[in-house]
Amino acid sequence: MKEIRFVQAINEALEEELSRDEKVYIIGEDVQAGTFGVSTGLVHKFGPERIMDTPLSETVIAGAAVGSAMTGYRPVAEFMFADFMYVAGDEIFAKAAKWRFIHGGTVELPLVFMASMGGYAKLGAEHSQSPESMFMHTPGLKLVVPSTPYDAKGLMKSAIRDNNPVVYLFHKRLLGLKGEIPEEEYVVPLGQADIKREGTDVTVVATGMMVQFALKVAEELKEKVSVEVIDPRTLEPLDIDTIIESVKKTGRAIVVDEDTKRCGVASEIMAQIMELAFDYLDAPIQRIAAANYPIPGGFMEDYVLPQTKDIKAAIEAIAD
């Protein structure tokens, strides 16, 4: 094993896959420098033909990734901030997501849409969003939201090897997080949840930064409540079985989501728990998510985004 930061874990996955398959390339704004560091340095090894700096043109970054994927390449398209993916709405939600379906399954779209996501950096409404629910809502897109360096690397490798469009969102505040990964090559398959902490009293389901929040709270409460933290790791495909198994054991569930509460990822997971494990529940499921507002700039974001104290209060209340 070796210790590595989240940002290096993604970088390693990209490097390994670029080495493994010459059809893989990276396309986006400032990917040679790497705005967040995830693609930094790769240009030295692979050159500007495979680490492609584009003009400021998200629509063509997304659309060209689709066009190139359907004709034999495996692009990793980078959007810097997930907020900028909105600029390429049709290309992502209609072309990438639906093109295979509407062409009778004759088209393959092996591509990755990669971007930073999330708040807690005081960057305001258009550089802080967690848009998972939009992607999860859209049939045809897969969705990866890693929470540890180990998962970040293994899931990126799977995302690149997948023959479908995969949205890969890394949290900008997790990039410095350290964790252990094996020296040797490994992948983390899409669609397998991970039990990040075992417990018996309450199940907390979370992804991305919220996993780290939940783990912190679980540790703080360990004398009082035994918390099980489940990280689905990919929201599509969603490993609901692992979640349901946990809920059957604990009888209590809290879903934590950095995205807006209304119609968010938490709402969907909650609904599935209700459908599949209603008889096992000892208390109503709780949802901890962002308040139904845009994310305000500056210090005001604390009043909208979910905080560890909210998770703590919910666990204490549900375990009572």
Contact range with ligand TPP by CB under 6 A, out of 80-88, 113-121, 254-262, 293-301: 80-88
Work out the angle between the directed axes of helices 209-220 and 308-319 (0-180°, nearest 10): 50
Active-site residue, from 103, 127, 137, 171: 127
Contact call for residue 78 and ligand TPP (CB under 6 A): no
Task: With beta carbons less than 8 A apart as the criterion, state whether 313 and 127 touch.
Answer: no
Q: Which does 278 bind (CB under 5 to 8 A by kind): ligand TPP, other proteins, none?
A: none
Contact call for residue 58 and ligand TPP (CB under 6 A): yes
Among 66, 181, 227, 304, binds other proteins (CB under 8 A): 304
Contact range with other proteins by CB under 8 A, out of 139-147, 237-245, 277-285, 294-302: 294-302
Reported as half-sphere exposure (CB side, CA atoms, 13 A), residue 279 has a value of: 1
Least CB distance from residue 140 to other proteins, whole Å? Answer: 23
Q: List strands edge to edge, sheet with 166-171.
A: 51-53, 24-28, 74-81, 112-117, 166-171, 142-144, 234-236
Least CB distance from residue 76 to ligand TPP, whole Å? Answer: 17
Contact call for residue 91 and other proteins (CB under 8 A): no
In the bound state with other proteins, the residue whose beta carbon lies nearer, of 191 and 296, is 296
Whole-number Å distance between alpha carbons of 46 and 268: 41
Residue among 211, 212, 162, 166 at smallest CA distance from 187: 162
Contact call for residue 93 and ligand TPP (CB under 6 A): no
Cβ neighbours, 10 Å, residue 186: 11
Determine if the peptide bond prior to 237 is cis (ω within 30°): yes
Contact call for residue 123 and other proteins (CB under 8 A): yes
Work out the angle between the directed axes of helices 265-277 and 240-250 (0-180°, nearest 10): 60
Among 30, 194, 201, 220, binds other proteins (CB under 8 A): 30
137 is catalytic: no
Q: Which does 67 bind (CB under 5 to 8 A by kind): other proteins, ligand TPP, none?
A: none
Q: What is the CA radius of gyration of the chain?
A: 19
Task: With beta carbons less than 8 A apart as the criterion, state whether 49 and 24 touch.
Answer: no
Strand partners, 81: 116
Among 8, 10, 24, 29, binds ligand TPP (CB under 6 A): 29
Contact call for residue 102 and ligand TPP (CB under 6 A): no
In the bound state with ligand TPP, the residue whose beta carbon lies nearer, of 80 and 211, is 80
Q: For other proteins, what does the binding mask look like between residues 44 and 63, x meaning CB under 8 A?
A: ----x----xxxxxxxx---
Reported as half-sphere exposure (CB side, CA atoms, 13 A), residue 158 has a value of: 23
Contact call for residue 87 and ligand TPP (CB under 6 A): yes
Whole-number Å distance between alpha carbons of 242 and 233: 12
Q: Which spans of this chain sit near other proteins (rule: CB under 8 A)?
A: 29-30, 32-35, 40, 43, 48, 53-60, 83-84, 86-87, 121-127, 291, 293-294, 296-300, 303-304
Q: Which spans of this chain sit near ligand TPP (rule: CB under 6 A)?
A: 29, 56, 58, 80, 84, 87
User: Which sequence positions are flagged as catalytic?
Assistant: 127
